[in-house]
Structure formats: C-alpha cells, structure tokens
Structure 1
Amino acid sequence: MPGPHMHSQIEFNFVLDGRMTYWFDGRELTVSAGRLVLFWGMIPHQVIELDEPTHFVCLYVPMSVFLGLPSLSSFREAVFRGAMIEALDIKSYDHDIFRRWRDELLSRDTALEQIVRDELTARVRRLDREGWRDLRQVGEAMNVAHHGDGERIVHVERMARFISENALEAITVEHVARSVNLHTNYAMTIYKRAVGLTINQSIVRQRLDTAQSLLIATDMPIANVAFESGFGSLSRFYEAFAQRFGSQPGAFRRRLAQASRQIDTGRSNFSRK
C-alpha cells in the first residue's frame, strides 16, 4: 500500500503462509501464518512489510452485519476502540474456507455472497465465544474503561450503525445526532474523538464504498452509481471519488476491467500448459 488508508467495513485477514506487518494507528503489528485478525477499517492502517513469499486472504464485511450481533458487546467495544482482534482458536478448516470465501465472493454470485456473509457472521460469533486478544495490548496491561467512556462508545456505535444503514439516503450530521438523542456539537465531538473522522466524512466514506462496489460488480452508468450511492450531486461524487481513490470513476472501472482481462488471459494460458 502506498500509504495508510481507511474504509467503513470490518476487515478480516487470514494469513495463509509467510508473515505480514501492519502499521496500525501508530503501531507496528505482525501477523504470522495461520493467524486470523480483524479490525474496523476506520482505523488508519497499512501493510508495510511482507515476508517472501506471503499469501493472505482479505475480506471486507459491511458494518451493518457486525452491528447486527447484539450479544458481542465487549467484542464490539474493543473493535470500536481501535483493537486489532486476533482469534485464539484457529480451526483446521480455516485455511481452506477463507480461500473458498474469497473465490465465491469474486464469482459475483449474489446468492453465494449471502451465504458467505452468513458463514462469516457465524465465524465471528465463534471467535467471540472461543477467545480473542487485542494485538495492541500483547504484553501490556488491559485498559479498563470508565463508565463514562463506555457510555460514549455506545453512542458512537449507534451513530456508526445509523450511518451504515442510512448513508444512501439524504442524511445530515443533525440526523445522526438526533438518532442517539444528543446535541449536534457533542455528537460530533465524541464521534471524531473515537473514530478519527467527522460524522460527515464517515457518511461520504460509506457512500464511496457503495459506489466502488457498484462500479466493480455492475455495468450501471456512472451517473446512476452516484445517485444510487447517496450523492445528490454528480460533481460532488466525482470530486469525492477522485480524492478517495486517486482517479475518476470511469478510469477506475476501466482499470479494473483491464486487470480482469489480464487475469482471465493468464488463466487461459495456464490451462493450456
């Protein structure tokens, strides 16, 4: 990666072999072969080093799926506090199933996508039940949250959920604050402190993540992508997309199509060998 980045989904990484090191919100954290980690993409992160050879599966899960797990309150709180969660119990089948999930998601089969989502949700539940640790705190004392901190985290969590579920509508910062019965200024303050982004930046990021998915998975005209993603202005969409992804939407789609053709050509050549 050229530099630290952020996104609105929960990111899963399973290291198939080798070893990878992240820059994660100011820390360097290393994950070795056979380990599974997950974290909230809103925490600035970057892969800064890979042993050769290293292979890993990276999956992105919408925040709405993660927030639909009410029983995982302590787990969710750790993620919202910027934890990099490592599973303590790795299954013998994890290596194969993560590769299968990746291949099924790349197939763009919507029925398979829903199955993978359900299976990933179950894997998260198992992870919470069977044990996890925060890699940032390995060898350090665990931080105990004060009651006030926990209450603020609940508000931030609910605001993040509201954004995740409503960003494609014409929502504003005021709508987000009202969803948790907080004054707008206070809501903006605690959200920015916890997440590192403003509420409005998070809304735009959620819309851009949706737009990116539509550009990848559909042939929808770009103007339709913009409006389906919640942007009320085409010019604002172009500006925000270029700022986030470093290219205009049309160029982004063409680059992906070219890369896909090269992969298909490579597969064809391989199959003839």
Structure 2
Amino acid sequence: MNNLKVFQSENVNYLVNDLRFAPLLDVETELSFEQRKPFYMAEYHWHQQIEINVLHKGTLEYAINNAKVQITAGEMAVFWAVTPHRVSKVSEDAMVGIINIPLSAFLGWVLPQEFMQQVMHGGVITSSTDGVVSLAESNRWLSCYHNENSVRNRIVSDEVCLMLRRLCSFDYKVEMFSFLRNGSSRHPSDTGYKNVQLMLDYIAKNHNKDIKVDDIAAHVKLHPKYAMGLFKNMLSVSIKQYLIIMRINHAKVLLSNTRNPIKNITNDSGFKHPGSFFAAFKKHVGITPQEFRDQTM
C-alpha cells in the first residue's frame, strides 16, 4: 500500500496517509482511513482526495471558504478536498471516521452522474448515515487496511463505492461552494488554481461532446501549450488523459444503468470512433464495454 502509516491514539488504531497537503497533487493510489477525535484547525488546508467524514459521536462544524457546514452524530459529509476547509468547532465527545479517496479512483467508480458533478463542482454532500454505513462497517474497513491484505483491500474499495451508491439512493443535502480560495486561505498559485478549476468545470460539463484541448484552453483564454502544462503540473495528469477518464466514467454509468446499444454509448460519451472507445475502455478498465455491462447489470 502507498504511504500508509499506522498510529495509536487513546487505544484506537487508525491509518493515516502521509499527506503534505500540496494543492491539486494526487499522488495517492490507495484509499486511506482514520478514526479519531477531530480537532480544531486554525488554518485552512486542502488536498486532492475526495474526503468522507462519518461522525459517530458529538458535533462538528467546518469552515469551507469562510462558510459554515455542521454535522451531528449519525451524519456524514462528502466533498472534494481541493476546496479549502478546516474544522472550526468540535464538541468534546466527538469521534469521526475519515476516508480519503484518490481522485483517480473516484472518477473510475460507477456513480450517478449528477452526484459526481455535484462533488466535482464544489458541493458538500451531507446525509444521515442510517442505512448508508454503520460504525461496525467502518471499523471492519479500518481493520482490513490495518492487516494489509490486498484482496480484502480491493473488496473494501468496492464496498466504499457501494456505500456512496447507497447514499445516492437516499435524500441528501447539497451545499455548493466556490473552489477559489479567499481571505485567510490565499495561496501564491491562486491564479493557476482558478484556471485549472475553470478547465475542470468546462470538461465536467462538456466531456461528452466533441471538445479538444484547444477548446478547453480557449475557454480560459490561455495558449493551449500553457494550459496543458499548467494542468499537468497541478493534477499530475494531462488534459487528454483526464478527458478520457471522464468520458469512460460517463460510459460506465450508461453501460450499467441503461440498455442503450454500445454504439450509441460511444457517441453519447464523447468518443468519435468505436475503435478508440474500445481501446481506451479496455486500457483503463481492464475489460471490454460488453464484459463490463455483463458484470454490472
């Protein structure tokens, strides 16, 4: 497993990724888990993973770009942690389970398109955990990663994905926030950060259309080569690679939830030619579109 460390705190075992909180840098390839008492944070931080916080006890308040979001015992929050955030208030009895999901893994999961876009556009999802995930299940996931069993770890990853799919089947709240840092959360790379976020937003809204790098760069009024370099430096993935990932994820949703012919799904996902779609899908998913449909329907 990559950069996972085991810590002991007040007789609670938990795992923490050795994060440096570098903005828009997703070098982690594994899920990470913590279970601990949350603590007040004087400063904002941000990182590239999708973060899930499940509050088992007490109350917890986040400051997200100077706005407030509160969850109480039995609730959870899901958000893309590139949005500057900090814990602004916490009760003495609070206990939280934290799951960090690599962006590459999250984008590859079969989740409702609306939910994906809400998270990727700065939404903070909050919901009751009743029927979604239990404390016993969270502890079992933690134990699996503590034992470092590769087979069980893959199963845990699948189960976290299914937990998010269950979440989407319930009513949940969404609060939208700007990704652009402000006030005390200013950072020297804000201009580049804003441009990358504008590119991500444009791709999220248009990935199933016939768009190219030039179109994405023109949207943010940058030279294509500069836009490509900025995107790659901040996300460690090229614009073309990211666009393909988004299109494949779109195709996976259609393959799982519709009976549309694969030829139609090729076009609906933004691929111009069936050959390029099949090659990209097999490379990233490991099986053909038809095999994927057979396994998920």
**TM-score for the superposition, normalised by structure 1:** 0.53
Q: Which residue of 2 aligns with 1:86?
A: 126
Q: Does 1:34 align with 2:74?
A: yes
Q: Does 1:203 align with 2:235?
A: yes
Equivalent residue letter for 1:153: D
Count of aligned positions: 167
* Structure whose residues are more often strand by fraction: 2
- For residues 112 and 189 of structure 1, the distance between their equivalents in structure 2, rounded to whole angstroms, comes to 47
CA shift at 1:157, angstroms? 7.5
- Kept in 2, the 8 Å contact 1:61–1:117? The answer is no
Q: Which residue of 2 aligns with 1:118?
A: 158
CA shift at 1:98, angstroms? 1.5
Equivalent residue letter for 1:185: A
Shifted more, 117-126 versus 102-111: the winner is 102-111
- Aligned partner of 2:212 among 149, 168, 181: 181
Shifted more, 62-71 versus 13-22: the winner is 62-71
Equivalent residue letter for 2:122: G
Q: Does 1:105 align with 2:145?
A: yes
CA shift at 1:71, angstroms? 4.8
CA shift at 1:4, angstroms? 1.4
Q: How do 1:122-271 residues align onto structure 2 when only pairs under 5 Å count? A: 122-135=162-175, 153=201, 155-156=203-204, 181-183=212-214, 185-186=217-218, 199-204=231-236
* Structure whose residues are more often helix by fraction: 1
- Kept in 2, the 8 Å contact 1:9–1:62? The answer is yes
Shifted more, 88-97 versus 118-127: the winner is 88-97
Q: 1:89 to 1:52 in 2, by over 3 A?
A: closer
Secondary structure at the aligned position of 1:84 is classed as: strand
- For residues 85 and 93 of structure 1, the distance between their equivalents in structure 2, rounded to whole angstroms, comes to 15
CA shift at 1:88, angstroms? 4.4
CA shift at 1:136, angstroms? 5.2
Q: 1:180 to 1:116 in 2, by over 3 A?
A: farther
CA shift at 1:37, angstroms? 1.3
- For residues 59 and 93 of structure 1, the distance between their equivalents in structure 2, rounded to whole angstroms, comes to 12
- Kept in 2, the 8 Å contact 1:57–1:102? The answer is no
Specify every segment of 5 or more residues in structure 1 that has no aligned partner in the other structure, as ranges.
138-150, 160-178, 191-197, 206-273
Q: Does 1:53 align with 2:93?
A: yes
- For residues 86 and 176 of structure 2, the distance between their equivalents in structure 1, rounded to whole angstroms, comes to 15
Q: Which residue of 2 aligns with 1:14?
A: 54
Render the CA deviation track for 1:145-190: whole Å, top value 9, x for unaligned: xxxxxx973614789xxxxxxxxxxxxxxxxxxx951326336669
Specify every segment of 5 or more residues in structure 2 that has no aligned partner in the other structure, as ranges.
1-40, 178-198, 223-229, 238-297
Q: 1:103 to 1:4 in 2, by over 3 A?
A: farther
CA shift at 1:56, angstroms? 0.4
- For residues 99 and 200 of structure 2, the distance between their equivalents in structure 1, rounded to whole angstroms, comes to 29
CA shift at 1:203, angstroms? 2.2
CA shift at 1:106, angstroms? 3.2
Secondary structure at the aligned position of 2:68 is classed as: strand
CA shift at 1:105, angstroms? 2.2
Render the CA deviation track for 1:230-256: whole Å, top value 9, x for unaligned: xxxxxxxxxxxxxxxxxxxxxxxxxxx
Q: 1:34 to 1:189 in 2, by over 3 A?
A: farther
- For residues 64 and 47 of structure 2, the distance between their equivalents in structure 1, rounded to whole angstroms, comes to 13
- For residues 221 and 114 of structure 2, the distance between their equivalents in structure 1, rounded to whole angstroms, comes to 23
Secondary structure at the aligned position of 1:116 is classed as: helix
- Aligned partner of 2:115 among 75, 81, 100: 75
Equivalent residue letter for 1:109: N
- Kept in 2, the 8 Å contact 1:36–1:86? The answer is yes
